[in-house]
Amino acid sequence: MKPLFVTLFFDVEDIITPESDDVAKWLAEILTEENAKGTFMIVGEKARLLEQRRRTDVIGAIRKHDVGFHSNFHSRHPTISEYLENLDWNDGCDVVRKNEIPGLRDVERIFGKETSCFTPPGSSYGAQLIRVLGRLGKAYVYSPVYFPSRSVNWYCGALTFSRRSIFFTDDEYCGFDKILTNEDQFEKGLSDLERFLKKQYHDGVDWVGIFGCHPTRVRALEFWDDANFAYGRNPSKPDWKKPRLRSEEEMEVAKKNWRRLARFLVSNSLIEMKTIRDLIPLYSPPESTVTFEKIRRLCETMPQGGMFLDKEYSPFEILLAMIDVLLEFSKSKEFRDSIETTEGLGPLQEPPHQKELVVKFDSILAASRDVQSFVKAKAFLPEKVMMKEGEVSIGAFYCIVAETISSLVKGEVKSQQVREVETISSFTEKLCDEMRGDMISWTIHRKDLNPEGILKYFRLQLWTLKPATLRQNRTS
């Protein structure tokens, strides 16, 4: 077995407590001294403050590691979910560009290197954020969207690393924040981590993350934002409250334990430490072709009246490939051996409720041409398809095309029954329930935040979800 890839993460975000700057510095320095490395997620406003404070020592220590982007303003309102709450897809993408890209560029300018990835603050996110920054080549870390049992996936065209595959020492997503200064708790956390890594290795997992800490929570007893920006509060700077700090003696204990953790990771023969920057080229880009044999098997095994997630191709790619197969067969009466895949987005509006109807073969061909032309022009799927016999949802159309190809393989040309289609899979609602709970429960969000508009686009873009695969298998 080859080593398990492991990434160590830090969220550097506190804009209120200058004392936390020193923690970020020694965390990075100790990693460097122990030949370990991490990915430091930096908030734009934090980077600007480090520059204003002339903390070139902190910037220099972190620069030796991988740098990611952790939003422009973190907990100041409106947060990402709050400003996306009532926006449509295109307006949401425009606002993400306006609000977040300046912070991304500030981080890159101040740290003197390109960021490899991004992650939003807390549970404040939106599918538009993934699309906009993914188009810039940034991976998405702590992703709430994941393929079942896979830790690294493609979604909205971005390489994503699942939050479910990251080790935390508690249920508050705090990593080693609270326990570096407590010997007994640190010992337990280290033992839990060792068991976690052994299990992931023996399960054959490609990658896992370890959340190291928030430097601010190592230094302070409370989060900087909870006391100031919770539940939509937005106090002016003179009214900001600083959290209580731990003692200098406690910081010495924390440094000692942090060095122990770094040495444990470096010496662990089961793992290989990789930053996100290291990992991006190790995961293959999306496949550019799909074989007809693959399409044939998918069409034959498709569940009655439903769709499913594939381990190689997204539903979007499968639909466009099936359309190519069908249209080519209508011209040549033959099936091509391979088909080029197409990249794009799922629909941007909810598909209509599907009424049952019967559609003829000629109508299916005409609608296939319409969908193909629509995607070429728009780079996303229509939510519905207008056919001679009536309106068909894009999910139902997916099933119609699959059933038509299966009939043609058997030498049959016939009309198809259209029925209601489950949206990709029941897994969709599981994901949405998890995200809904996260957004509502994050203490920084307004209590009246309505996440449904945000979840709508996450749900629709599951058409783009598929696993990412390593260029080489972990098994030797």
Identity at 144, one-letter amino acid code: P
pTM for this prediction: 0.94
Q: Are 190 and 261 in contact (CB under 8 A)?
A: yes
Per-residue pLDDT of the chain (476 residues; tens, 9 = 90+): 788 999 999 999 999 999 999 999 999 999 999 999 999 999 999 999 999 999 999 999 999 999 999 999 999 999 999 999 999 999 999 999 999 999 999 999 999 999 999 999 999 999 999 999 999 999 999 999 988 889 999 999 999 999 999 999 876 667 899 999 999 999 999 999 999 999 999 999 999 999 999 999 999 999 999 999 999 999 999 999 999 999 999 999 999 999 999 999 999 999 999 999 999 999 977 778 999 999 999 988 876 656 678 889 999 999 999 999 999 999 998 898 999 999 999 999 999 887 888 889 999 999 999 999 999 999 999 999 999 989 999 998 998 999 999 999 988 876 666 666 655 556 788 889 999 999 999 999 999 999 999 999 999 999 999 999 887 655 44
> For residue 144, which of 129, 136, 133 has the smallest C-alpha distance?
129
Q: Are 472 and 3 in contact (CB under 8 A)?
A: no
CA distance 75 to 228: 9
Count CA within 13 A, CB hemisphere, residue 265. 27
What is the 3-class SS of 169-198, one letter each residue?
A: CCCCCCCCCCCCCCHHHHHHHHHHHHHHHH
Length of the chain: 476
In angstroms, what CA-CA distances link 282 with 220, 236, 325?
37, 45, 31
> For residue 318, which of 329, 335, 302, 332 has the smallest C-alpha distance?
302
Identity at 353, one-letter amino acid code: H
CA distance 116 to 276: 6
Q: Are 274 and 6 in contact (CB under 8 A)?
A: yes
Packing angle of the helix pair 89-111, 44-52 (nearest 10 deg): 30
Question: Which residue matches tokens 């188009």?
Answer: 135
In angstroms, what CA-CA distances link 49 with 41, 45, 239, 355?
15, 6, 18, 57
CA distance 475 to 202: 11
Show the DSSP H helices in 112-223 as ranges: 127-134, 183-202, 215-219
Packing angle of the helix pair 56-63, 89-111 (nearest 10 deg): 100
Other CB atoms closer than 10 Å to residue 317's CB: what's the count? 24
